């Protein structure tokens, strides 16, 4: 169990670093959006590439931030019901949800994203829009994002098992919910 918890801590740290860096892509997207709007209105200049880059950046923030959101236990839930359960019951529910739904869902997406990305990369697939960007970077983001989510799902599974076995301290109300590990 000690090795599994060290692995979970490593996954948590990597996903948090990547997501914190990805959060800065919001700033880039805003600057690109503003620059594109100004150039379009002031100089009648516009480019599909700039518009597509905004979409790529938004997708990157979403895909690269999903695993960190899971780590921080901030995904949408039915808290009206789960708040009535004991911590142990919530841990069991999370364990079942991660094992039966999250991990298989993420695994299927990773397995299907590999050929999706590789075909695009090998063929040099480009957006059909005039002046559009290559598509393989966006498809790579799908693969990376779901791989990170899968890894974080495994980390959360390990932490829930450890919590149910009593190998992790009980979380205080003021701590990060569901993390079970300090960063």
Q: Which two tokens stand for residue 75?
A: 């995904």
Q: Over the stretch 124-158, which tens digit does the pLDDT of each residue have?
A: 999 999 888 999 999 999 999 999 999 999 999 99
Spatial distance between the Cα atoms of 70 and 148, rounded to a whole number of angstroms: 10
For 115, what's the count of Cα atoms within 13 Å in the CB-facing half-sphere? 3
Question: Do 148 and 64 meet the contact criterion of CB atoms below 8 Å apart?
Answer: yes
Give this prediction's pTM.
Answer: 0.86
Q: Which residues contact 87 (CB under 8 A, 6 or more apart)?
A: 170, 171
Q: How many structural domains is the chain composed of?
A: 1
Question: Do 35 and 47 meet the contact criterion of CB atoms below 8 Å apart?
Answer: no
- 175, part of any domain: no
- For every residue of 125-163, DSSP letters joined together read -B-SSTTPPBSHHHHHHHHHHHHHHHHHHHHHHHHHHHH
Low-confidence ranges of the chain (pLDDT < 70): 78, 170-183
- 78, part of any domain: no
- 182, part of any domain: no
Average pLDDT, the chain: 89
pLDDT of residue 171: 58
- 170, part of any domain: no
How crowded is residue 95: how many other Cβ atoms within 10 Å of its Cβ? Answer: 17
Residue range(s) defining the domain that contains residue 24: 2-73+85-165
- 174, part of any domain: no
- 171, part of any domain: no
Phi, psi of 134 (to 5 degrees): -60, 145
What are the CA-CA distances from residue 100 to residues 7, 9, 65, 80, 109 (Å)?
A: 21, 22, 22, 22, 15
- 25, part of any domain: yes
pLDDT of residue 178: 47
Q: Which residues contact 135 (CB under 8 A, 6 or more apart)?
A: 120, 125, 126, 127
pLDDT of residue 79: 72
């Amino acid at each position: 169990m000690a090795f599994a918890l060290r692995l979970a801590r490593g996954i948590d740290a990597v996903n948090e670093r990547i997501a914190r860096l990805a959060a800065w892509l919001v700033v880039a997207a805003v600057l690109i959006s503003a620059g594109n709007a100004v150039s379009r209105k002031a100089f009648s200049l516009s480019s599909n590439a700039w518009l597509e880059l905004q979409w790529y950046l938004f997708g990157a923030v979403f895909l690269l931030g999903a695993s960190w959101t899971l780590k921080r236990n901030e995904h949408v839930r039915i808290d009206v019901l789960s708040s009535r359960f004991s911590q142990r019951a919530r841990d069991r529910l999370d364990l079942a949800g991660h094992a039966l739904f999250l991990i298989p869902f993420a695994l299927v997406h990773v397995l299907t994203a590999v050929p999706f990305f590789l075909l695009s990369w090998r063929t040099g697939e480009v957006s059909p829009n005039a002046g559009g960007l290559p598509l393989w970077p966006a498809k790579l983001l799908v693969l990376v994002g779901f791989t990170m989510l899968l890894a974080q799902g495994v980390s959360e599974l390990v932490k829930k098992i450890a919590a149910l076995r009593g190998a992790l301290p009980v979380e205080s109300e003021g701590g990060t919910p569901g993390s079970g590990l300090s960063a």
